[in-house]
Structure 1
Amino acid sequence: METNRVVVKVGTNVLTNKDNRIMGPILKELVRQISVLYERDIMVILVSSGSAIAGKEVLGETSIKDPSTRRQVYSAVGQPRMMRHYYSIFHDYGMRCAQVLATKRDFDPGKHRENMINCYEGLLSEGIIPIANEDDATSLTMSMFSDNDELASLVAELLDADRLIILSDTDGLYTGHPDDVNSRKLNEVKVDQDVEQYVKASNKKEGEGRGGMASKLKIAKGTASKNIPTYIANGKRPNVIVDIIDNKDIGTKFIN
């Protein structure tokens, strides 16, 4: 299939090490792959987690008791830190990036949605890589995404993306726990295929991110049902994005 526009979501567990610190080499490898696709006239819209962790690196522990407010503060401090990382690395590759923040209600039909489309299309027309994230300062309760997987799916649909790639810390959906020698990775899943039975067994302990495998499966099936092939793959695997675009047997592919 021809690919011109790809949404790539990278999770917190991909971007951080065991000490919950942002890993520079992972960011550089991510941008390197985006630059490879850029040279092929394939534009990537990046949905990046990590702002809350980045904020915690700066602030450490806070005296804020309310967990929602604490997350807002960490994210508000961490967003510019993450963008500084991305801006610097993209600049090294001769590329430009921009931040696009949104709440769930921005995707409802109306002026906000139209404005967001115009912004994304304007950035892409100038060869600027949009980096999407949730607007944590205003998105609480009804306007909050379940996680960045949902945000990535909505962006893919909004922009008629050719593919959605969800990068996690696992190689895909397994029939059991990924570390179990008897479990096997599912290379391809159709939206009407009953694989939910495998989710509980394949789930790994989550770190700071909100989305687990159950969420990823639901989002992947939902996006694929809109004729956007969706992949769950290991973001720490070298060249994973480019290999998926080159149709190599990487991760789990979800199709309609």
Structure 2
Amino acid sequence: MNNMESKQYEKVVVVKVGTNVMTNKDNRIVVPILKRLVDQIARLYEDDVMTVLISSGSVIAGMEVLDENTITDKTVRRQVYSAVGQPRMMRHYYSIFHDYGMRCAQVLATKRDFDPGPHRDNMVNCYTGLLSQGIVPIANEDDAVSLSMSMFTDNDQLASLVAELVNADTLILLTDTDGIYDGHPDHDESEVIRTVTTDQEVEQFVQSSDKKEGEGRGGMESKIGVAKAAAQKDITTFIANGKRENVIVDIVNGKDVGTRIYKED
């Protein structure tokens, strides 16, 4: 791939991959899953579709190194995990993208960076510059320096803000279920709701679950709220299973995958 010239692209897709997608039952990063994600991004690139990747995983990656530590403060411990894990995640991504002849870049942000003003303007300039050169931005919350008042609710919220920032055509929230179900996902009679409008009440179907330290903060209720907010801004949003084969490419190509959230005309 020739990365020296300006990249001409027809669409921008924002893809958020959560911790539960990229880890196994032992809470370890599964590199082959990252490779499958990058493979899809590379195929979209060849079709003039640029992807912005919102990637969780830094805290888990840090825990893999510092599984045993003496830090008792939970907030400080998370900051340290993230600071150690973020370069490990980028090393994975850099190596995989390099295998495809592509380049990637890290973009860390806190919530205040999206407030109107110079911070937001700089973010726009950064993303615009990266995309124009065919470089895939990989965004994550800057957990190492975020304070409670400047933290995102979760990376779903970050993905929605980035999608608005780059005028994305599509926002894809990848999780470990096939979409929004009309009952508990583990029940045989439950089915995926294929389309949801912004004014349709589906929160009643959401099941709460406990999360262990290091897992992502977001759940399905958060995803629904974020998806509806993005759809209200004319960004069609999908909630889908990140472990499904070709999930990103299939969604971009219009296949009936996951749950599509949209605003009715």
C-alpha distance after superposition, 1:142-183 (max 9, x if no partner): 100010000000000111100000000000000111111121
Q: Matches of residues 236-247 of structure 1 in structure 2 within 5 Å?
A: 236-247=243-254
1:224 is displaced (CA, Å) by 0.7
Give the match for residue 25 of structure 1.
Answer: 32
Alpha-carbon distance in structure 2 between the residues aligned to 1:72 and 1:209: 14
- Compute the displacement of 1:204 (Å): 5.3
Deviations 1:72-93 (A, max 9, x none): 0000000000000000000000
Distance across 2 between alignment mates of 1:205 and 1:22: 20
2:136 aligned counterpart, secondary structure: strand
Q: Which residue of 2 aligns with 1:104?
A: 111
Cα distance, 1:3 vs structure 2: 5.9
- Asked whether 1:53 is paired with 2:60, we answer yes
Q: Is the 8 A contact 1:9 1:165 kept in 2?
A: yes
- Unaligned 5+ runs, structure 1: none
> Could you say which residue in structure 1 is the equivalent of 2:4?
none
Corresponding residue to 1:15 among 15, 22, 39:
22
Q: Helix, strand or coil: the match of 1:138?
A: coil
Give the SS at the match of 1:227: coil
- In structure 1, how many angstroms separate the alpha carbons of the residues matched to 2:57 and 2:242? 14
AA in 2 matched with 1:232: I
CA apart distance, 1:206:
4.1
Query: In structure 2, how many angstroms separate the alpha carbons of the residues matched to 1:222 and 1:104?
Result: 16
- Which is further off, 127-136 or 57-66? 57-66
Aligned position for 1:141: 148
Shift of 1:212: 0.6
Matches within 5 A, 1:1-256: 4-200=11-207, 203=208, 206=211, 208-256=215-263
Deviations 1:194-242 (A, max 9, x none): 1111113xx4554511101111111111111111000000000010000
Find runs of 4+ consecutive structure 1 residues off by over 6 angstroms: none
State whether residues 46 and 130 of structure 1, in contact with CA within 8 Å, keep that contact through their aligned partners in structure 2: yes
Contact kept in structure 1, 2:10 and 2:48, CA below 8 Å: no
Code of the aligned partner of 2:111: K
> How far off is 1:65 after superposition?
1.0
Distance 1:247 1:128, change over 3 A: same
TM-score norm. by structure 1 comes to 0.97
CA distance in 1, matches of 2:131, 2:196: 31
**Counterpart amino acid of residue 134 in structure 1:** E
User: 1: CA distance between counterparts of 2:210 and 2:238?
Assistant: 20
Q: Structure 1: how far apart are the matches of 2:142 and 2:188?
A: 41
1:236 and 1:213 map into 2 onto residues whose CA distance is: 16
Aligned AA (2:198)? V
Aligned to 2:206, what secondary structure does the other structure show?
helix
d(CA) in 1 for partners of 2:42, 2:209: 31
Unaligned runs of 5+ in 2: 1-8
Q: Report percent identity of matched pairs.
A: 69
Q: Which secondary structure does the structure 2 equivalent of 1:97 belong to?
A: strand
RMSD of Structure 2 on Structure 1 (CA)? 1.2
Query: Do the aligned residues in 2 keep the contact of 1:3 with 1:163 (CA within 8 Å)?
Result: no
* Equivalent position amino acid for 1:13 in 2: N
TM-score by length of 2: 0.93
Matches of 2:121 and 2:167 in 1, distance apart? 14
1:3–1:149: structure 2 CA closer, same or farther, 3 Å change rule?
farther
- Measure how far apart 1:61 and its partner are: 2.2
CA distance 1:232–1:204, shift in 2 (3 Å): farther
Deviations 1:50-107 (A, max 9, x none): 0000001111122111111111000000000000000000000000000000000000
Aligned length: 253
